[in-house]
A and B are shown apart, each in its own frame.
Chain A
Amino acid sequence: MGYASRVDLYRRYGPALMRKCERMLGNAHDAEDVVQSLFVDLLRKGRRDVELAYLYRAATSRCLNLLRDAGRRRALLARQGEEVLAPARERLVDRVVSADLLARLAERLDRRSLEILVLHHQDGLSQEEVAALLRVSRRTVGKRLTKARRIVEQLTDADAGSGGGA
């Protein structure tokens, strides 16, 4: 596959991934950085056997890297407030699954559970679809989502107790 055809891959899937990363990170600038670095790595590796589902998972992983790093998270959250094209449609314990909520969860939740939460509650994949994408059992997905829900409920209770909220 030549460079031009690989760039075609970027043109084809880049916008979808940009929208996906915007939902996770809450701003277009960081989304661009993540998507661009993802494709730079793909081009260097000469990968051609990629489809959008694979790229969705890879982009999720890179966004989580940002959200899980305390220093990066602070800078990222400072950029919140810009409107994203495709806002989160899903809610979890009556809270929008926003970059802010994901950043707070990143301090309390393991990486795999966060990944599952994003794919299900933000990207809207069914539990079966998440299980197929991550090659885990549907039962594992359910257990991880239950764990995530419990932590979100704790956050909600804490916010209510302190008069805050999301």
Chain B
Amino acid sequence: MSACAQPVSWLLLERYQLGEVTASERARVETHLEACTRCRADLDRLAADARPLPPLPEPAPAGAHRFFALAAASAAAAALVLVFSLWAPWRPAARAEWPPQRIQVKGGELAMTLIRERSGAVIENPASYEDGDRFRIELTCPPGELSWDVVVFQSGRAFFPYEPAGSIACGNRVGLPGAFRLSGSAPAVVCALAAAAPPDRAAVAGAAPDDLPVPAACLGLAAER
């Protein structure tokens, strides 16, 4: 194998393969490849890699403000949907941010990190789930003792995976005890609730995920199959 003291970077090889190089970059790569079997072999490997890409979820339609409207518009909807509420008092104006453009975590506010575990792989705030995935939740909330609960909206129903819910000393990414699993093949919305008093489950179950009667952070998940 020829010496390759200065291999062409992976980035440049990828851009070369995509035809996105300038004329001078092309000349530089091709001159190098003529003399370097290693980089030629690397380029051949890139070109031969025909792996299928996992499907990309279609984003929610602009202007839709309710999760179930989104789900009806597209059963495969998988855009990350985070309802982000200001800490106190609950401000209906926050719903105008539905779906928010990004996860926001600031002092004095409530935020959730939803952690999906699947076959040893862990990902934060995933866009989707598959039947049997295990989830943990970490909450970020203002210092103080708060009651928490978790509700999952799925197929028009609400269920509460933690029995019982509890209270936590708030802080930065405080983990709720234990974990739960999601099952089924319908889109789901997971919401973490936190309030000074234990949330009223009947009132929560009767509300829409973007209009909960207590401070909440929610994440929409598409079903993968």
Give A contacts to B, CB under 8 Å.
3, 7, 10-16, 18-20, 23, 27-30, 32-34, 36-37, 39-41, 43-45, 51-53, 56, 65-66, 71-72, 75-76, 78-79, 85-86, 89-90, 123-126, 129
Contacts and interface: CB of A to CB of B under 8 A. Distances in A.
Is the contact region of chain A dominated by helix, strand, or loop, or is it mixed?
Answer: helix
Given A52-B18, A85-B45, A19 B121 contact: no
Contacts of A14: 53
A86 B39 CA distance: 11
Contacts of A18: 51, 53
Interface of B: 6-11, 14-15, 18, 20, 38, 42, 45-46, 49, 51, 53-54, 56-59, 78-80, 99, 101-102, 117, 119-127
Given A3-B58, A75-B120, A126-B6, A33 B126 contact: yes
A44 B9 CA distance: 30
B56 A39 contact: yes
Contacts of A15: 49, 51, 53
A39 B9 CA distance: 23
B10 A123 contact: yes
Contact of B121 (A12, A23, A29, A124): A29
Contacts of B49: 15, 19, 85
A7 B55 CA distance: 10
Contacts of B58: 3
B9 A37 contact: no
Given A15-B51, A123-B10, A124-B10, A52 B20 contact: yes
Nearest to B81: A44
14 contacts: A10-B56, A15-B51, A19-B49, A29-B119, A32-B54, A34-B123, A36-B54, A37-B126, A44-B79, A45-B102, A76-B121, A86-B10, A89-B10, A123-B11
A40 B79 contact: yes
Contact of A44 (B45, B46, B80, B125): B80
Nearest to A17: B14
A86 B45 contact: yes
A56 B11 contact: yes
A40 B101 contact: no
Contacts of A30: 121, 123
A122 to B, nearest CB: 8
Contacts of A29: 119, 121
Contacts of A85: 45, 49, 51
A71 B113 CA distance: 14
Nearest to A16: B14
Given A19-B49, A44-B79, A124-B10, A12 B120 contact: no
A89 B79 contact: no
A158 B123 CA distance: 31
Nearest to B55: A36
A123 B42 CA distance: 12
A48 to B, nearest CB: 14
